[in-house]
Amino acid sequence: MASRQFATFEVAGQLFGVEVHTVQEVLSYNEYTPVPLAPAAVGGLFNLRGQVIAAVDLRVQLGLVRQALKGPVMNVILRGDGEPVSLLVDKIGEVVDLEDETFEPPPDTLSGPTRELVVGTFKLDGRLMLALDVNQAVDTYRATT
C-alpha cells in the first residue's frame, strides 16, 4: 500500500493539507511589511534569516476575508519552483500518513476559488482534509472570483 505524508493546517475551521516534501518549515511570525499595489492575496513580506519571503494569505485565495496581521501569525513556508513562499494559515495541525486508496477527487459540488486550489480529499477520523495544489495556492495572480 502506497502512502503519502501531509502537513495539515486549518483556515476558517476547515482542515487542509499539503504534501510534506513541499514544506520547508512551519513558524509563527509577527512583523510583515506591506507591499503597495500587490495582489490582494499578498499579506506582506518578512525577513527569515536574511531571506525575504512573500506571505500569501490563504483566506484571500479561498475567497474569504483577509487575515488581520496583528500579533503572531502562523506560516507554512513552502518550497516553490523558485523561492520559498509562505501561506498564512489560522492554525497548524500535524503530519499525517495517508493511504493513496483513501484519496478521492474533489466533489463536483465544490465550486468557487476553493475548487481551483483543491486537488482532492482524504477522510480522516471525523473530518475531511482538503489536499491543496501548492502551485495554485501561492499563485496570487489567478482570478479569485
How far, in Å, CA of 113 to CA of 65, rounded? Answer: 13
pLDDT value at residue 82: 76
pLDDT value at residue 24: 95
Q: Is pTM, for the whole model, over 0.85?
A: yes
Q: Are strands 73-79 and 23-29 parallel, antiparallel or unpaired?
A: antiparallel
* DSSP classification of residue 22: G
pLDDT value at residue 142: 66
pLDDT value at residue 145: 44
At a CB cut-off of 8 Å and minimum separation 6, what does 46 contact? 29, 31, 32, 33, 52, 53, 55, 86
Q: Are 98 and 79 in contact (CB under 8 A)?
A: no
- Domains of the chain are 3-137 (2.40.50.180)
pLDDT in tens, the chain (145 residues): 789 999 999 999 999 999 999 999 999 998 899 999 999 999 999 999 999 999 999 999 999 998 777 778 999 999 867 789 999 999 999 999 999 999 999 988 888 899 999 999 999 988 999 999 999 999 998 654 4
How far, in Å, CA of 21 to CA of 92, rounded? Answer: 16
Q: Are strands 91-99 and 14-19 parallel, antiparallel or unpaired?
A: unpaired
Would you state the cell numbers that stand for residue 50, as one nine-digit string? 536574511
